[in-house]
Amino acid sequence: MALRKTQRARTPVYVGFSTFQQINPPYTLVDIECVKQDLLNVFHTKIGERVMLPEYGSRIHEVLFDPFVDTTRQAILDDIEAVIATDPRVSYDQAFVTEFEYGIRIEVQLIYTPGDTAETLFVEFIRDGEDAL
């Protein structure tokens, strides 16, 4: 007679809620997807835009129309570091900033703290004033 092992569902460490790009329920995000959505929320918010939290957000919007030179690239990298530093659930290994025809794209290689899982976060900032993923 063979014994059958039962597997328990892993309990998520972090649970969140988002309706962004969701057509139907469930709207629950767990673990790294929750963290990535929280970081996207910060990157898509301009500094000073959030009521009662004047330091919440990203400064990338301020340099979006500046010439893409080394000082602009460094300002973006500094902002990425500052945003990631506000979230204790992740750290980052590397960040890359590239310019494309309509904006700026960032790629951040995240290290999700519980379990040291590596993930990549992509964010595009479109120069027409609207952010996209």
pLDDT tens per residue across span 98-123: 999 889 999 999 998 877 889 999 99
Task: Give me the pLDDT at residue 1, please.
Answer: 47
For 45-81, b/e burial (b = at least 16 CB within 10 A) is bebeeeeeeeebbbbbbebbeeeeeeebbebbeebbe
| Predicted confidence band of residue 34 (pLDDT cuts 50, 70, 90) | confident
* Arithmetic mean of pLDDT, 6-32: 59
Task: Give me the pLDDT at residue 30, please.
Answer: 56
Hey, which CATH number is domain 26-132, 3.30.420.10, 3.10.450.40, 3.40.50.720, 3.30.465.10?
A: 3.10.450.40
| Predicted confidence band of residue 83 (pLDDT cuts 50, 70, 90) | very high
Task: Give me the pLDDT at residue 104, please.
Answer: 95
Largest CA distance in the chain: 72
* Arithmetic mean of pLDDT, 7-20: 57
Is the whole-model pTM more than 0.85? no
Residues of the chain above pLDDT 90, percent: 53
